[in-house]
Structure 1
Amino acid sequence: MSKSNRKVRILVSGLTLALLSMSAIAAEPAWVTKSNENAKLLLNVLAKYSPESASSLGVDGYDELITDMSRDQFEATAKDTRAVIAELEKRLKAESDPKIRQDLEILISTAQDQLRSAAINRKYMLPFTDVTRLMFGVVRQMLDPRIPKERQKSLLVRLEKYAGLAKGHRPLTELANERLQERLKANKNLLGPYKGQVEQAINDAPALLKGMKDLLAKSELKGWETSFAALEKQLTAYNEQLRTQVLPRARADHRLPPEVYADNLRQFGVDITPRELIAKALTSFAEIRNQMNITAGLIARERKLPSADYRAVMRELKKQQIPVDQVMPLYAERLTQIEAAVREQGIVSLPSRKAVIRLASAAENAQQPAPHMSPPRLIGNTGEYGEFVLTTGMPPDASGKSLVFDDFTHQAGSWTLTAHEARPGHELQFAKMIETGVSTARGVFAFNSVNVEGWALYAEAEMQPYEPLDGQLFALQARLQRAARAFLDPMVNLGEISPEGVKSFLMDEVGLSEGMATQEMQRYTFRAPGQATSYFYGYQRLMETRQAAEVALRQKFNRQAFNDFVLAQGLVPPALLRKAVMQEFVPAQR
């Protein structure tokens, strides 16, 4: 819940996220055990100031604790983080094991990034908390069927504390408002939330409240009703306060200060400037569009369509919408077909167990509109795995208009989404870390979107040649969308295109539905500015590393061995991954 812990929060993300560090499944190497002792220093700071984040990762002993919002924690958090950095640097000087040294460098870098990010946001931004969305996230995480029943009972204690019914606690809604007013009084020049963000928070609140109540009603918990009734009343009043007090002073301009946006990119793993990113992405967009027209031409000739333009062909293919009751069987079939191709072509090693795919609830659609992977706890995992969550639409906007997606519920579009979110994408990425075991530094603290999403987009590309022509066209469309993200996100934040321009471009040139284009525009402007660029950049860095390995090995390059090696590294940054590939993988293959 603390902004200073951005790198280890489970984001929207969709995001999509890191996995396991301390696995009970794999035998833990000695270096991992020692590295995890170092990581506990940073975990302890996280747990102290954001116990919800710690318990979501799987850290024991924090399930009943909640973030202390009774006072400003900025200085205290910074002081403790600086002390941890000093101790980690001391241990780095004395450490000789290269892997442990790498992990220490990851931990130090993460802590320094947290300090820098917290200071930048403190300098410019007014703290705005969408308490309803935050509460839904906690309830959903605690009542996840993968969480042991005994742990789920801790939610009752948390609900009492959030509602201010427990001794020594006041309602979270009151405390959130106090912190906002406190910062506003300290610096009247701080930027408030973007108007569109506040409007969406207000519009999503009913679906999120209903989602919380449904989760609690379906759970086996007893005695939640009193606390939830009080919390529901408080949240309703808080959201009305957002409408009457926060919305009128919300900023009309979505753009962030350049320093804040640049920090966002760095936190998500993008280590080049927005201008460099735009230049790379514009070139790739044009090249991918050319490939799409070639593939669309083949489909048009095969099916005798009136136009061979890629946009017209996609519109025709998207008419093949699947009835709601057949969507899940279709995705199960796609997964089976993809896995067969993976094994036949020797792309990567697969687990013997089945992957999990499910439809999102209305509340999950509101919290995170894009399809995503829901990860299990990251520490202390005893065999739980990730879930591919298929979302179905956007919650109503300020006018009450609801937008559905037609992007994932047609035959051709199901191939690439399955490859990205399930196998050989995120689900396999997470499963490999569970089964092989990686250090906390690599599984938790090294996490950023470039690390995670780079693999999933790479997985799409690995599967594209083995899909039918219509599936290949939408695989290219997905890559076109990621290239568009990498120039539209920085452009809209630099003021070079309007949010409405972003939406129309995505609908007209990329072929997205209005619902999908709307949630994309919201992602760039207020849900997670900068995050959407990480897919394109992560894919480029991973392909760069693979090509370097291929040049070094030539005929000795083994694709399956390379992909297995990459997954076994955990979520190391691109530079460290390339170093491991060139210094470990390449010599071993020779």
Structure 2
Amino acid sequence: MTTTNRTRRAPPLRRRTLLAAGVAGWMSTAPVLNVAVAATAKTPFRAADFDAWAERVAAERMRSQPEHATSMQYFEGPLQDRLDGQWDDLSRATALAELARDRQALAELDRFPREALTPTQRTSAALIAWALQQDVAEAAFLDHHYVFEHMGGAHVGPITFLVQEHPMRHARDVRSYLTRMAGLPALMDQGIVRARAAQAKGVLMPRFITETAIGQIETLVAAPPAANPLVISLTERMAGLSDMSDAARRRARTQAEAIVAKSIVPAWKRGLALLRAQLPLTTDDAGVWRLPDGDRFYAARLRANTTTELTPAEIHAIGLKQVARIEGEMDGLLRQLGYADGTIEQRFRKMDADRQPTDAAPQVQLLDRYTAYLRDAEARARLIFDVMPKAPVEVRREPALTEPTASAHYTTPAPDGSQPGVFWAPLAGPTYEIADMRTLVHHEAIPGHHFQLAIQMEATDLPYFRRRQAFAAGSAYVEGWALYAEQLAVENGWYDGDPVGHLGQLYGALFRARRLVVDTGLHAMKWTRQQAIDYGITPQEVDRYVTWPGQACAYMLGRLRIEALREKARKELGERFEIKQFHNVVLLTGDVPLTVLEQVVDVWIESRRGAGSGSATAAP
């Protein structure tokens, strides 16, 4: 899974939807004549005008998203320092103001003559158009996102952000950390207002999600300030700061404990009171079909996450077909290992259970194994990639607060090099998913999320705003690439001699195929939570899909589209096709809708016809 930058954090309390024709128009090389373009004839167009406009719009967007600006260190000097102490504003008034800004930006974008833009600018324009159209088209669903969902809601997402993503390079970062801590009560109160407004419109979380959120808050408020994860993280991370004295560190810790006791705990108790009051009003219905206009909301979420126009029924059918194919492959390997009796799920679980660690506390050994797989993947990747991230990547254990409910995920390296890319591995136990450890490394780190996100950040041929992800294109590109990376490892023999690891990879693919079935089942076909569990998905994962409708469909659909583009290029280029070149094109384009990526690949294929060999490194 990808985050914001937790390859990707919870969907914001904002909006989204794809207007594919508008995006395709921006990629077209054919002249487009309309009133807006004709009006520009009086003033000669300069390519630099578009670049300046795009960077200005992106900067405005990032100023309104302090958390993302911190993750990307988007600005410099006093402005970035100020943003590092702020939170994204959750108020409805801010959401409406941002919608007005996005509509204005779309109108301005339409004034640029498409035929005069460079290929890179056309890709940038298509990405911007898609992101803005998403926001505007989902304006009707501002109150449909769950404010206090257990993955990244207002009570847990900001804490995870401070612990995992807030930089800690010098004493100034400690001050901004404390400022953000002091701002948490106001953020909680904004969340309470939004949750009450949603409730008034008939939007409540399912009972089981509400109960999980209540338990999370109860755990946090019951702990003494010294044991609060914010205090623990601050203490640990500032220990290595060279510009802080021991006395300054003690003062910072004392201040943090006071903020927890006097401000955060009372605010979280206010949130707890709201959720307890809502609990009797909730039901166990899992899907968003039960919400007002829930079918349209789910359709919008699917378009936003998959960047396709596939219907729930079509996605469901694709999932069933992929499940049957992958289970057939797994059956043969399981039989080779002596697991012939029972369903695929039963046999795989038995195989994994037979390989559980015997130590009472095996987390250190498991982290070492993850690291060994990571270094192995680094060496192997050089054979099929000639563009590699400069930023390092490492594996860390998920923090205790979120470990019981977290999925494995990745956070991007700090642009200034102060923090590496990190694959966060939940290791709560008492059982561990042993077979898929290698494939998790391939998905979250190499050649998955770390390659895609770090290379995008380092791609100097891309405009600054694309390198720093000011505009994101849903999950299909990022998660599709990560799942493609898992399959790429198989195709290149990385699992030779490791049938257990190969089964882990296949099970991961089966898991993503099942999610197409389960996500559409829950949200469009009125499946119960238990039906989803019975289909082979763990309760923890089912709750994630309940919380983030449509997001789970991005993985397999994205992978299938990237594989289809590769095979199209292989077929049309024949002997001129080189896998390293294809990977360069996909990675150096960066995060774009799949419709845009397809047109970028088409342009690259055409450029390779009749051309000599050599690596394609220019970013579109």
Please classify the TM superposition score into its range, dividing by the shorter chain length. Answer: 0.7 to 0.9
Return the alpha-carbon distance in structure 2 between the equivalents of residues 557 and 318 of structure 1. 43
Does the CA contact (< 8 Å) of 1:126 and 1:190 recur in 2?
no
The 1:385–1:15 alpha-carbon spacing in structure 2 relative to 1, beyond 3 Å, is farther
Q: Which residue of 2 aligns with 1:265?
A: 302
1:14 Cα deviation after fit: 6.7
The 1:444–1:486 alpha-carbon spacing in structure 2 relative to 1, beyond 3 Å, is farther
Q: Which residue of 1 aligns with 2:231?
A: 213
Does the CA contact (< 8 Å) of 2:192 and 2:274 recur in 1?
no
The 1:35–1:230 alpha-carbon spacing in structure 2 relative to 1, beyond 3 Å, is farther
Match for 2:94: what amino acid?
Q
Larger deviation, residues 64-73 vs 85-94: 64-73
Query: Please, what is the CA RMSD of the aligned residues?
Result: 3.2
Match for 2:439: what amino acid?
T
Residues 240-263 of structure 1: per-residue CA shift (max 9 Å, x gap): 313432222234422211111111
Q: What secondary structure sits across from 2:410 in the alignment?
A: strand
Q: Which residue of 2 aligns with 1:418?
A: 441
Residues 136-156 of structure 1: per-residue CA shift (max 9 Å, x gap): 1342256444x5552342122
Match for 1:44: what amino acid?
E
Q: Paired residue for 2:328, among 279, 290, 309?
A: 290
Q: What secondary structure sits across from 1:213 in the alignment?
A: helix
Q: Paired residue for 1:369, among 406, 409, 412?
A: 406
- Is 1:455 aligned with 2:481? yes
Q: What secondary structure sits across from 1:387 in the alignment?
A: strand
Q: Which residue of 1 aligns with 2:608?
A: 588
Return the alpha-carbon distance in structure 2 between the equivalents of residues 544 and 580 of structure 1. 14
Gapped regions of structure 2 (runs ≥ 5): 12-45, 222-227, 239-248, 289-293, 612-620
Return the alpha-carbon distance in structure 1 between the equivalents of residues 96 and 515 of structure 2. 36
- Is 1:55 aligned with 2:70? yes
Between the aligned residues of both structures, percent identity stands at 23
Match for 2:311: what amino acid?
T
1:290 Cα deviation after fit: 0.7
1:524 Cα deviation after fit: 1.4
Return the alpha-carbon distance in structure 2 between the equivalents of residues 317 and 173 of structure 1. 41
Q: Which residue of 1 aligns with 2:242?
A: none
Return the alpha-carbon distance in structure 1 between the equivalents of residues 422 and 103 of structure 2. 36
Match for 2:265: what amino acid?
K
Return the alpha-carbon distance in structure 1 between the equivalents of residues 593 and 196 of structure 2. 38
Residues 538-574 of structure 1: per-residue CA shift (max 9 Å, x gap): 0010001000001012232211222222211111222
Q: Which residue of 2 aligns with 1:488?
A: 518
Normalised TM-score (structure 2): 0.77
Return the alpha-carbon distance in structure 2 between the equivalents of residues 297 and 31 of structure 1. 61
Return the alpha-carbon distance in structure 2 between the equivalents of residues 469 and 361 of structure 1. 31
Report 1 or 2 for greater relative contact order, CA contacts < 8 Å, sequence distance ≥ 6: 1
Return the alpha-carbon distance in structure 1 between the equivalents of residues 500 and 412 of structure 2. 30
Aligned pair count reads: 529
The 1:447–1:207 alpha-carbon spacing in structure 2 relative to 1, beyond 3 Å, is farther
Q: Which residue of 2 aligns with 1:472?
A: 502
Q: Which residue of 1 aligns with 2:175?
A: 153
Q: Which residue of 2 aligns with 1:330?
A: 369
- Listed as ranges, the matches of 1:11-22 within 5 Å are 13=8
- Listed as ranges, the matches of 1:279-428 within 5 Å are 279-300=317-338, 307=341, 310=344, 311-312=346-347, 314-322=349-357, 323-343=362-382, 345-346=383-384, 349-351=387-389, 354-366=392-404, 369-377=406-414, 381-382=416-417, 384-393=419-428, 404-407=430-433, 410=434, 412-428=435-451
Match for 1:524: what amino acid?
Y
Q: What secondary structure sits across from 1:392 in the alignment?
A: coil
The 1:282–1:36 alpha-carbon spacing in structure 2 relative to 1, beyond 3 Å, is farther
Q: Which residue of 1 aligns with 2:554?
A: 534
1:313 Cα deviation after fit: 5.2
Return the alpha-carbon distance in structure 1 between the equivalents of residues 348 and 285 of structure 2. 37
- Is 1:574 aligned with 2:594? yes
Match for 1:448: what amino acid?
G
Does the CA contact (< 8 Å) of 1:385 and 1:431 recur in 2?
no
1:371 Cα deviation after fit: 0.6
Return the alpha-carbon distance in structure 1 between the equivalents of residues 3 and 372 of structure 2. 34
The 1:181–1:430 alpha-carbon spacing in structure 2 relative to 1, beyond 3 Å, is closer
Return the alpha-carbon distance in structure 2 between the equivalents of residues 444 and 141 of structure 1. 20
Residues 320-369 of structure 1: per-residue CA shift (max 9 Å, x gap): 123333112211222233333333x4355445775311111212315x61
Does the CA contact (< 8 Å) of 2:479 and 2:554 recur in 1?
yes
Return the alpha-carbon distance in structure 1 between the equivalents of residues 130 and 411 of structure 2. 26
Q: Which residue of 1 aligns with 2:545?
A: 524
1:219 Cα deviation after fit: 4.1
Match for 1:134: what amino acid?
G
Q: Which residue of 1 aligns with 2:584?
A: 564
Gapped regions of structure 1 (runs ≥ 5): 1-6, 17-29, 164-170, 394-402, 508-516
Does the CA contact (< 8 Å) of 1:360 and 1:392 recur in 2?
yes
Return the alpha-carbon distance in structure 1 between the equivalents of residues 396 and 458 of structure 2. 22
Match for 2:230: what amino acid?
M
The 1:225–1:460 alpha-carbon spacing in structure 2 relative to 1, beyond 3 Å, is same
Q: Paired residue for 2:51, among 32, 35, 50?
A: 35
Return the alpha-carbon distance in structure 1 between the equivalents of residues 160 and 399 of structure 2. 13
Does the CA contact (< 8 Å) of 2:443 and 2:482 recur in 1?
yes
Return the alpha-carbon distance in structure 2 between the equivalents of residues 365 and 405 of structure 1. 13
1:494 Cα deviation after fit: 1.9
Q: What secondary structure sits across from 2:138 in the alignment?
A: helix
Return the alpha-carbon distance in structure 2 between the equivalents of residues 505 and 126 of structure 1. 25
1:531 Cα deviation after fit: 0.7
Residues 67-87 of structure 1: per-residue CA shift (max 9 Å, x gap): 456773343232222122222
Return the alpha-carbon distance in structure 2 between the equivalents of residues 288 and 560 of structure 1. 27
Q: Paired residue for 1:177, among 186, 192, 202?
A: 192
Does the CA contact (< 8 Å) of 1:339 and 1:423 recur in 2?
yes
Does the CA contact (< 8 Å) of 1:451 and 1:571 recur in 2?
yes
Does the CA contact (< 8 Å) of 2:58 and 2:470 recur in 1?
no
Residues 470-506 of structure 1: per-residue CA shift (max 9 Å, x gap): 2212111111111000111111112343211211221
